[in-house]
Structure 1
């Protein structure tokens, strides 16, 4: 039942001593896919010095001192290359002392390397506009700007607004892409002749938000392909990332009050396990665990009441899980005061397909954050459908899972009648 966010929490939660990991935001890095026209040649089997030794022997330069003088190198370097090719069966010793000869194998290698000529080729290269460097992202992992917005991702800034130029892409950078695991590179790029921007895309990433509730200090960390990218952190910091993205930390209040008979039973523990206490206190990251459990395991009813629903939470993954509950004939009620346009449309479409098992309630005024599923009632200020998104404060929310059927029934009945009347 581990979501990608919870896995990131386990891996990176303790990376900033003195700060709490309070949020993980879906974000997107701007990239440009460029067509790079390059001058390249086939990768040669021999080191460059060995190649020149063979080619010089083919032209009649047949002694180590002469080869070293021709190449302007120390004699010892040439002797090492000659010894290597002797072991490979490409060089033999002549009749006179110090004379070297090419074997049949050496003749063939020399001819093959003489015939290699540079050619012009065009490659697609992904250029990261935040770090302003060539990136190894797979093109299939990139998304359009409209998809990023629909998914509620924060669009990170680019380091520059200028066009990507030839000088920005070095031959070494292109070669590093061609040498990536899984690619069988057969050429060496010698020079980049020209680049032509072809597509503007975004690379999905995660931004971890760390904070100190007392001081209000905020720090971020960018995770790309599951790994922390210090390069992205550094550039985002120089660009004033925290201020640009509007991240802020606010102190969390005490957990919301429970009925007196329930409050006395509350203990801190691990929720949703067989040995869990019936009234169990939960921390900020356990809220998402509970929400995931509700979306995956509710068998009779699911009610989510919250003031705001946004597409960064009600994304394709969330909607897919919700639809699975509806297909399992679970009664779903969403009590939401406000939605963004993308979420409004997506929930409307799902409600039309649900055959009256999904009810959307739009009360006026503020809605108390509540989650009820089957015999569980979760009491918390946690914003169930808007816990992601830069336009909100980050807090260390405290809540309670009340796994008591009578209490869950009472809360469920109390929430729905005023909305339906």
Structure 2
């Protein structure tokens, strides 16, 4: 599953658009191409002590080789070799007005710069690596370790942001000034780019994981998007998307809010709505008067669901039941399976049921196969069932029961990119959870596909 904490992002950016409501947090991918750039550059290297001292003496007016040797306390031969190297590199020149038997030297403009900076400069041909953001159409200082392959982006069902062009990046698209601005930010850089000669890159980009925030007005006519990278909104990416049609161009729609499953009247009376639940967790709220036993009834926002699923597959102690019409690779991936197997190996009884209708084909076969394989390995501890039909979306673990309109095992798989506010109920009253657990086990048995 995508690692971003949707509830945290929702808290942080819920009020970022005046008059609009945050409807969805969508895992996204920014296309990034790794460029191998051949450049002509100047390389700066720290000077040997003798070279630095020699240039500084010449700069101070000591221009005779014998005088330089005497002041430095070095034999004449090493000093003359240093002067010869300086002639070859263009740091010094012979003074034409010096006596024939005692040639004096002087610094060239390059030698003056080297003496001031205490670094040797020489022209080189180098191949450098830069990262080209396809959405911005510009190189950016991205960390290579954060980029993922196209296959991984597809498995995660990341919404791939559009590139400004499908044309390959050419040498003319890059400038020395832009490359140097990035190089100057690197602490160990010693190059200054003079010219860009050639650019090579793979045909398929990698992707930088990000999050797309979707905002809407109550009438769902005004839909805006924002891009979050590393916990911060990226205004350049937002402007780039706006210039290409914004949410409409991405195929994003917002539908009317889904109807929340209703609880019994006594539970509805004590339910704490989402709008008044401030900490996004069930662990600190206090039950209201009228609860027959210790427990709580909370509203669950659309952004809480991924966190609650993660909690269930990593912390359930005795039982775990999930009913979800559809199953997608973006949720039921290798990481999900590993965590689920971890629960089973610790003695947790797991039941998962799915199936919107007998002929429905919206599930990802690979995700289904992963769960079937797990059920084969643990036939006594894990039940995986295809149902004839279900509209239920239920998550039960230990004493917690969540009923909702949220698709637990396909929430990142909205291929039509239609989003809506989905709200649920979280109940931690043991008698209620026991009753619901038994009810859904019976429903699974009754609806099992032959």
> TM-score w.r.t. structure 2 length?
0.73
Residue 198 of structure 1: which of 202, 207, 217 is its match? 202
| Deviation digits for residues 118-175 of structure 1 (CA, Å, limit 9, x no counterpart) | 1100012211111111121122222221111111112222111111100112212222
Q: Give the CA deviation at 1:12.
A: 1.9
The answer to whether residue 328 in structure 2 is matched with residue 310 in structure 1 is yes
Q: Please name the residue that 2:90 is paired with.
A: none
Aligned partners of 1:142 and 1:203 also within 8 Å: yes
The answer to whether residue 343 in structure 2 is matched with residue 333 in structure 1 is no
The answer to whether residue 126 in structure 2 is matched with residue 121 in structure 1 is yes
Aligned partners of 2:46 and 2:120 also within 8 Å: no
Whole-angstrom distance in 1 between the partners of 2:353 and 2:260: 21
More displaced stretch, 110-119 vs 222-231: 110-119
Aligned partners of 1:307 and 1:366 also within 8 Å: yes
Aligned partners of 1:336 and 1:367 also within 8 Å: no
Aligned partners of 1:23 and 1:388 also within 8 Å: no
Aligned partners of 2:44 and 2:122 also within 8 Å: no
The answer to whether residue 381 in structure 2 is matched with residue 377 in structure 1 is no
Structure 1: give runs of 5+ residues left out of the alignment. Answer: 47-53, 63-100
The answer to whether residue 404 in structure 2 is matched with residue 403 in structure 1 is no
Change (3 A) 1:108 1:20: closer
Alignment of 1:9-408 (within 5 A): 9-43=10-44, 109-110=114-115, 116-181=121-186, 183-198=187-202, 200=204, 201-268=206-273, 269=277, 271-277=281-287, 278-337=296-355, 339-390=363-414, 391-408=416-433
How many residues end up aligned between the 2 structures? 370
| Deviation digits for residues 21-46 of structure 1 (CA, Å, limit 9, x no counterpart) | 22111121222212100111124899
Q: Give the CA deviation at 1:111.
A: 10
- Tell me the SS of whatever aligns to 1:308: coil
Whole-angstrom distance in 2 between the partners of 1:3 and 1:112: 46
Whole-angstrom distance in 2 between the partners of 1:276 and 1:313: 32
Whole-angstrom distance in 2 between the partners of 1:9 and 1:263: 25
Q: Please name the residue that 1:74 is paired with.
A: none
Aligned partners of 1:216 and 1:248 also within 8 Å: no
Aligned partners of 1:29 and 1:203 also within 8 Å: yes
Whole-angstrom distance in 1 between the partners of 2:413 and 2:192: 44
> TM-score w.r.t. structure 1 length?
0.78
More displaced stretch, 275-284 vs 332-341: 275-284
Q: Give the CA deviation at 1:226.
A: 2.8
| Deviation digits for residues 208-235 of structure 1 (CA, Å, limit 9, x no counterpart) | 1112232342211112233221111111
Aligned partners of 2:44 and 2:121 also within 8 Å: no
Whole-angstrom distance in 2 between the partners of 1:119 and 1:211: 54
Aligned partners of 2:324 and 2:393 also within 8 Å: yes
Whole-angstrom distance in 2 between the partners of 1:365 and 1:44: 71
Whole-angstrom distance in 1 between the partners of 2:113 and 2:218: 72
Q: Give the CA deviation at 1:273.
A: 1.6
Whole-angstrom distance in 1 between the partners of 2:4 and 2:28: 17
Q: Please name the residue that 2:439 is paired with.
A: 414
Q: Give the CA deviation at 1:110.
A: 4.4
Structure 2: give runs of 5+ residues left out of the alignment. Answer: 48-54, 64-105, 288-295, 356-361
- Tell me the SS of whatever aligns to 2:166: coil
Aligned partners of 1:43 and 1:186 also within 8 Å: yes
- Tell me the SS of whatever aligns to 1:414: helix
Whole-angstrom distance in 2 between the partners of 1:404 and 1:114: 73
- Tell me the SS of whatever aligns to 2:201: strand
Change (3 A) 1:345 1:125: farther
Whole-angstrom distance in 2 between the partners of 1:265 and 1:225: 38
Q: Give the CA deviation at 1:305.
A: 0.9
Aligned partners of 1:255 and 1:380 also within 8 Å: yes
Change (3 A) 1:255 1:109: closer
- Tell me the SS of whatever aligns to 1:379: strand
Change (3 A) 1:172 1:354: farther
